[in-house]
Chain A
Amino acid sequence: MLLEVENINVYYGAIHAIKGISFHVDEGEIVTLIGANGAGKSTSLNTIAGLLRSKTGDVKFRGRSIAHTPAHRVVKEGLALVPEGRRVFTQLTVEENLEMGAYTRDNSEIAGSLEQVYELFPRLKERQRQVAGTLSGGEQQMLAMGRALMSKPALMMLDEPSMGLAPILVEQVFEIISSLHRAGTTILLVEQNAQMALSVADRAYVLENGLITLSGTGEELIRSEKVQKAYLGG
């Protein structure tokens, strides 16, 4: 198992946001967490990334506990998070944003990765000297993904990558996720767009009010009556 989340409980003050959930991601998989607003999807990812802390349980990455590793060290372990709302550095240029993505790596390795990211996102290359705040939403999403790729992650976590994007861009984003997956990156995806997420996922978990209420392969869940009703508008 690449990532193992065991019985985590996360609180925001008095609010119990994650109520003892466990899930795992195997090497080479695309796993997705789906659920409504406030179900605890982003909280789960932020806890794995070290931005939030669980009161109980453990988070293991490649068999080692990272539950108490500070967020800035988690990246070095090979785990990257593309945060909700992209959160690119708007005052930095596109290229500077990408350089920040490779912050933990040696300067000598950066040039090669930059080339790869530009190959994957030619639009970013066109705009490399531009300040990121001037990019469109879709371009910012690509930058956020490219920035995460710069750390050469073994596991890439994406938090609502389709949020606020036009349908054609949503498809583009999912194509890129699939191609990253084919290139060997394991992916943990959080989405409200359950249809898209389930169609690319190997396995999926349904989160409701901080609990996992359903899990299975992507196909199983697409056909599940409950998911159809609650998330696919069926």
Chain B
Amino acid sequence: MVSFLRFLINGISLGSVYAIIALGYTMVYGIAKMLNFAHGDIIMVGAYISFCAISYLDLPPLLAVLLAMAVCTALGIVIEGLAYKPLRQAPKLAVLITAIGVSYFLQNSALLIWSSNPKVFPSIFGSSALQLFGGALSITSEAIVTICANIVIMIALTLFTSRTKTGKAMRAVSEDKGAAQLMGIDVNRTISLTFAIGSALAAVAGVLLCSTYHTLMPTTGSMPGIKAFTAAVFGGIGSIPGAMIGGLLLGVIEILGKAYISTELGDALVFGVLIIVLLFKPAGLLGKPVSEKV
């Protein structure tokens, strides 16, 4: 029973990371109707930036995270402006291929700058752990911080999109760009802002991920990126609560699957569940069925 609880908490913690990454996928998809496959690599960049800030500049962890967020925000805006904005009217396939190109570009740049040798990411949240059941169940500080960060981000984003003028404008743009322009909303600026928010969240996710698993390589972002993308589709792409639920479920399924079924099959299980969900709910758990206008 205690071990089940431990797996469950690990799963929620991993799922929280997926959820934070999935938010970036889902928000960008909602607004720009594109899959930003370079999103996973922003995670990696964020992790490297905070790694350098902590190891080489001796910055305190919090400042390192903020620095990583700032760099990734700028990176997200630049990528959108240089690579995706010129393709606003282009076929979707062109945008998709460009995103894959950006992903390789980021990975190879990281390879050049930081080499392929894995870096050992420091434990930035300390080694203390919460002991429950007389020490039988210990929850690491990473897990606590990750879960809390996820909750804070969820609440903040929900308030942002439902209460602020900019957030409402974002929802308006995601529904109808033409009508949004007629309201006076600058669609390009809104898309840019969405990339900025998504990329800042990716930086946070990178730090949380690496401080839990400690290995940092140029390819660190790809697998979590793909899984978070799965989580976004799972929950219903374009839906913010969907990304949250999708991420958490995916994390829990992965950890429980690895613990009770097979370590090797953990990842296969994750994608298997996606296939089953999509068979019955093609728009994802919280996605709205799209009817094409004729």
Contacts and interface: CB of A to CB of B under 8 A. Distances in A.
A224 to B, nearest CB: 33
Given A72-B184, A100-B185, A87 B179 contact: yes
Given A72-B187, A99-B165, A92 B182 contact: no
Nearest to B182: A81
Majority secondary structure, B binding face: helix
A151 B179 contact: no
Interface string A150-177: 0100000000000000000000000000
Contacts of B263: none
Interface string A126-157: 00000000000000000000011001000000
Interface in B179-201: 179-187
Interface residues of B, number: 17
A100 B175 contact: no
Contacts of B178: 51, 71, 83, 87
B169 A100 contact: yes
Contacts of B165: 99, 103, 107
Interface in A53-103: 70-73, 75-76, 80-81, 83, 87-92, 96, 99-101, 103
A147 B182 CA distance: 10
Nearest to B176: A87
A104 interface: yes
A103 B187 CA distance: 13
B226 interface: no
Interface in B141-186: 165, 168-169, 171-172, 175-176, 178-186
A33 to B, nearest CB: 18
A55 B182 CA distance: 21
A83 to B, nearest CB: 6
B260 to A, nearest CB: 40
Nearest to A157: B182
Contact of B180 (A49, A80, A99, A100): A100
A96 B163 CA distance: 10
Given A83-B179, A99-B165, A89 B171 contact: yes
Given A87-B179, A89-B176, A103 B185 contact: yes
Contacts of A100: 168-169, 172, 180, 183, 185
A147 B183 CA distance: 8
A91 B182 CA distance: 17
A100 B187 CA distance: 13
A178 B184 CA distance: 26
Contacts of B169: 100, 103
Contacts of A151: 183-184
Contact of B184 (A51, A83, A104): A104
B182 A80 contact: yes
A76 B185 CA distance: 10
18 contacts: A51-B181, A70-B181, A70-B186, A71-B182, A72-B187, A73-B184, A89-B175, A89-B180, A91-B171, A91-B175, A100-B169, A100-B172, A101-B183, A103-B169, A103-B184, A104-B183, A147-B183, A151-B184
A89 B182 contact: no
A100 B175 CA distance: 13
Contacts of B179: 83, 87-89
A50 B182 CA distance: 9
Contacts of A76: 184
Interface string A195-211: 00000000000000000
Nearest to A81: B182
Closest 6 CB pairs of A and B: A104-B184, A75-B184, A71-B181, A87-B179, A103-B184, A100-B183
Nearest to B186: A72
A232 to B, nearest CB: 30
B89 to A, nearest CB: 12
A88 B175 CA distance: 9
Most buried by A among B165, B178, B179, B185: B179
A92 B184 contact: no
Contacts of A147: 183
Nearest to B190: A72
Given A83-B178, A87-B176, A87-B179, A72 B171 contact: no
Contacts of A148: 182
Nearest to B179: A87
A79 to B, nearest CB: 10
Interface in A96-131: 96, 99-101, 103-104, 107
Contact of A72 (B168, B175, B176, B181): B181
Contacts of B181: 50-51, 70-72
A151 B185 CA distance: 12
A75 B180 CA distance: 11
